Amino acid sequence: SQQGEEDPQALSIQEGENATMNCSYKTSINNLQWYRQNSGRGLVHLILIRSNEREKHSGRLRVTLDTSKKSSSLLITASRAADTASYFCATGLYTGANSKLTFGKGITLSVRP
Amino acid sequence: DAGITQSPRHKVTETGTPVTLRCHQTENHRYMYWYRQDPGHGLRLIHYSYGVKDTDKGEVSDGYSVSRSKTEDFLLTLESATSSQTSVYFCAISDSSGGKQETQYFGPGTRLLVL
């Protein structure tokens, strides 16, 4: 069953603008992660935020997590054409000694030069 | 791609034939995963492994089996391929941090077409 649901499904912005992508989920989580996928490639991990954290930064990325609303947002500031990709949120849940990630369907971001 | 290779990268096969996909890692990570990616569905977990000879089912395991005889290799077998198994298959690995594996690192994917 799909846990994370991203919004919007597609986003087109001009280079230099900020891109905001949202993810909502339904059940309890231990962490939430964002991944990027360039066309024809595997996923690349961007950032992880744990359930007891509210905000994290990594370079031009800012992720927030609101566990009361079961939602997260990923902000990419000063976007570049190279940011064009699909972005996935994934919710992490520890199950005994293991943990699993459940991925959303992804957001397609197009950054116009 | 974090020391992960998948083979083959592309395969065309016929319905009813067995197919084996291989994932090889050089990172000595304990955990390995197989996902499939389909339009409109995102990534879905097929099977995963938490050690040599230790595997478990994921969300969409029907029609698939896996084996892990060495830390570095995780094989995915489609016992009798069907057209519904046409997909892009990704292998991923992770290791423990504080006893819990978190970040996953993905291979380049295998495109499988079942005719």
pLDDT at B44 over 50: yes
For chain B, give the number of residues. Answer: 115
Across the interface, do A98 and B42 touch by the CB < 8 Å criterion? Answer: no
Q: What CA–CA distance (Å, rounded) separates B114 from B91? A: 19
- Tell me which of B100 and B89 has the higher pLDDT: B89
**Cis peptide preceding B39, ω within 30 of 0:** no
Q: Which residues of A touch B4 (CB under 8 A)?
A: 42
pLDDT for position A1: 47
- B41 has a chain A CB within 8 A of its CB: yes
Burial of B20 (0-12, 13-18, 19+ CB in 10 A): middle
pLDDT for position A97: 67
Chain B interface, best mutation among A37, A52, A91, A103, by max B CB count within 10 A: A103
- B44 has a chain A CB within 8 A of its CB: yes
Q: What CA–CA distance (Å, rounded) separates B23 from B76? A: 8
pLDDT bucket at A23, cuts 50 / 70 / 90: very high
pLDDT bucket at B57, cuts 50 / 70 / 90: very high
Q: Which residues of A touch B100 (CB under 8 A)?
A: 30, 94, 99
Q: Per-residue pLDDT tens for A69-83? A: 999 999 999 999 999
pLDDT for position B102: 80
A96 CB contacts (<8 Å, ≥6 apart)?
none
Residue B102 carries which side chain, given as an amino acid letter? E
Handedness of CA A83, A89, A93, A99 (dihedral sign): negative
Please tell me the least confidently modeled range out of A8-17, A94-103, B18-27, B57-66. A94-103
Residue A59: other Cβ atoms inside 10 A: 9
Among partner residues B42, B101, B103, which is closest to A88 by beta-carbon distance? B42
